A and B are shown apart, each in its own frame.
Chain A
Amino acid sequence: MTAPALANAALDETAVALPSQEPARVARDSRPLRLITCGSVDDGKSTLIGRLLWDTKAVKEDQAASLQRDSKGKQNDLGLPDFALLLDGLQAEREQGITIDVAYRYFSTDKRSFIVADTPGHEQYTRNMATGASTADLAVLLVDARVGLLEQTRRHATIATLMGIKQFVLAVNKIDLTNYDRSRFEQISHEFKELALSLGVRQVTAIPVSALKGENVVYDGRASMPWYEGPTLIEVLELATTRSAQTVGFRLPVQRVSRPGESFRGYQGTVAGGSVKPGDSVVILPSGMVANVTKIVTFDLVRNAAVAGDAITLVLDRQVDVSRGDMIAAIDSQPMTGLAFDAQLVALQAEGIQPGKRYWLKSGSRRQRVQVQPISQLDLKSGKWNHADELPMNAIGKVHLAFDEQAIFDAYEQNRTTGAFILIDPDTNNTVAGGMITAKRAAIGGIHTEDSRVILSLPADLADQLMATEIFAGRREDAEVRRLTAARAIEIIDTIDE
């Protein structure tokens, strides 16, 4: 099916909702699409991925032979091998017939390559589902056509939404076991549409699927379901978009300072948002010092510009104090800094999240101590946020974060790197939560976030002249000078005049 034809098909009633202005003619995105499959136990997730691998010819002959061998006695009445065995590679998984841990699989079609995170359905392994969702562009939610939506469907859809996934595919699986019942499919699609809308998800495509028989996965299922005219799963995946570039300005969390010799000092990290080029003015946080970019160094060449995702080394025009954990950011679009933030998080370990406990928080390359105060927990049945003093394992909660020293964040909605964090239990070193910054708060428990330093924003040469005068010589500690280019200083002065 061609791209425009698919767009038309998606307008069909089987597509629950569509993005408002998704152009069908955009140049194909050659980056791999990361997707996650989720759903309840026995919805057939592993079978679906196995089928995707099988039908896209990602299973080689020797692997197929092992599969046939391992499937002995487990073949279904179609005589097909147990595709789930391609996925559940651990001995314990095979013994119990379940998926314990997230597994990553790779396959491709002529049009695109895919990384799929196959995640467990059991509630006790929700942390692995959250792990897979954190990096995914799209979520495939499986529902057993005979059973319909379950609490686990709501849990997974909610976590996927929290993690910022905006594209959902509802795969109504085992449709063959309902005699390809169209009204059953439409009823489930409708129910899911209600759920998706309540979560604020607009882009959902519902597909009736038999993973076992391979209908509407890679090959269409018209022979059995002439009433379905929408896309197959692979067609939706081929046209899905990868994570969009984020709207906030340049961000570089500093991973390492590179000092191979006296003459070179570079700041190494991966651009987490926006872009940068030589000549740009940047601010170093949390110190607030200002500098200009002189060079962007990579192994192959000195570059003219770097964009989000690029792993680079940045050279600045002056000696400033920058260390691992600092952030270099666009001067006119800075992240939030403060001692208190609000966040949402998913509790990932048995001990849950305890009120007032001091955890380690790691965001980007910055690690600092934080006190976590639960506020509320999401009730997955009602969709309501109820007051909570602590958060048990698998809970989705809202919390306050209180820091001892300046924290640096963007809202997760605006930047999925600088807005995300993990919590580490200092007693066990285990990762106990994944979190997303929602907003800054002014104060918590009497801790005030604003300090009282004087900040001077001046053209660089003027700033240096001023600091050299006697008046400022003894007061450098009190004043923080943000050195700007002359043009930027004039811009600021102009806004003050208004």
Chain B
Amino acid sequence: MPHTHPETELHNPQSTKPPLDPHLKALENEAIHIFREVAAEFERPVMLYSIGKDSSVLLHLARKAFYPGRVPFPLLHVDTGWKFREMIAFRDEMVEKYDLDLVAHTNPRGAAENVTPFTHGSALYTDIMKTEALRQALDAGQYDAAFGGARRDEEASRAKERIYSFRTPDHRWDPRNQRPELWNVYNGMIRKGESVRAFPLSNWTEVDIWRYIQAEEIPIVPLYFAKKRPIVERDGMMILAEDPRLELLPGETKREEVIRFRTLGCFPLTGAIRSNATTLDDIISELETATVSERQGRAIDRDQAGSMEKKKREGYF
């Protein structure tokens, strides 16, 4: 596919959108600044792309940051093999539409040993198929910087993250040994083997993400919108039941419900919510009156106390 020619695109005919409000504009400017800084200071950056709403915003901001050039680094998708099918289709569509370089990686050990969320439990499964897989992919690409879409409002240990999160050669995060981060001056000096995880969305909240998706008309996976879908109820969560690998346990039945997802991960570990929100307006107003947090539907946060912190220390995003 030919790369877009900058001169012909400078006057964007679709720019009929109203200007962003100052709050979102400030967040956007900050994120673009971080993207450019990392791209300029590191030799081999990569962007972690998980296909969720935060990734969609991250990708949009990356395209903005380097416009009229193309995104100057590859996207890395750690594919556990258990993502929602609609996510993979959406990923491939984005890669095609925006002329992106995609690296998809699945842990070969996990695949060979047939590690699944059902056979190994969510904690071990996540460790092998996500954390270990991520480390493999980062090592293989010799990436010295990896962008992630993490936000500080997501979880208590995330609230402590720097914009540049320093990692040792074996990808470990030591919360006591992070560099002070003053103003918007980021220290990108590392030794060979060390790396930095960079988080351009650090200061965004969930509502900011949705309002920005709406204002910028950013495409997202349709699973975020309510629709009648087949589900089973398991461990207090409603799991999407369209993948043939999902085997019903004794006493479980498949039924149809109007549901949507507030967050997207691996389908067996991600709970749906009952919702009639079929538009972005609906989602935003639902969110503004929501009484539970975004991650209550994510099994992996709840494995044990300090769960996310522990995963991060071991190299999880």
Contacts and interface: CB of A to CB of B under 8 A. Distances in A.
B40 A324 contact: yes
A103 B185 contact: no
A134 B182 contact: yes
Contacts of B247: none
A61 B294 CA distance: 11
| Chain A at the B interface: SS class | mixed
Given A101-B175, A311-B36, A63 B180 contact: no
Interface residues of B, number: 63
Interface in B263-289: none
Interface string A71-113: 0000000000000001111111010000011111110000001
B125 to A, nearest CB: 23
| Tier of interface size on chain A | 35 or more
Contacts of B292: 60-62
Nearest to B308: A89
A422 B182 CA distance: 8
A222 to B, nearest CB: 29
A37 to B, nearest CB: 14
Given A102-B160, A365-B40, A113 B23 contact: yes
Contact of B40 (A29, A255, A259): A255
Contacts of A29: 22
B214 interface: no
Interface in B53-73: 63-70
A299 B64 contact: yes
Given A92-B176, A311-B32, A260 B187 contact: no
A362 B185 contact: yes
A20 to B, nearest CB: 26
A406 interface: no
Nearest to B175: A90
A98 B291 CA distance: 29
Contact of B15 (A100, A259, A300, A422): A300
Contacts of B21: 30
A264 B7 contact: yes
B68 A258 contact: yes
Contacts of A368: none
Interface string A8-33: 00000000000000000000011110
Interface in A27-43: 29-32
14 contacts: A30-B23, A89-B155, A92-B175, A92-B176, A100-B176, A115-B203, A255-B36, A255-B40, A297-B68, A302-B10, A302-B11, A311-B28, A362-B185, A434-B180
Given A60-B293, A324-B40, A417-B183, 16 more contacts: A89-B159, A90-B175, A90-B306, A92-B176, A128-B180, A134-B182, A260-B70, A299-B64, A300-B17, A301-B12, A362-B187, A365-B37, A420-B185, A424-B187, A429-B189, A434-B182
B315 to A, nearest CB: 17
B157 interface: yes
Interface in B32-47: 32-33, 36-37, 39-40
B152 interface: yes
Given A91-B309, A311-B36, A31 B26 contact: yes
Contact of A261 (B6, B37, B39, B40): B6
Contacts of B203: 104, 106, 115
A363 B39 CA distance: 17
B119 interface: no
A421 B183 CA distance: 9
A106 B180 contact: no
A263 interface: yes
Interface string B163-204: 000000000000110111111110101110000000000110
A264 B6 contact: yes
Interface string B297-317: 000000001100100000000
6 A-B pairs with least C-beta separation: A89-B156, A260-B69, A311-B32, A134-B182, A60-B293, A299-B64
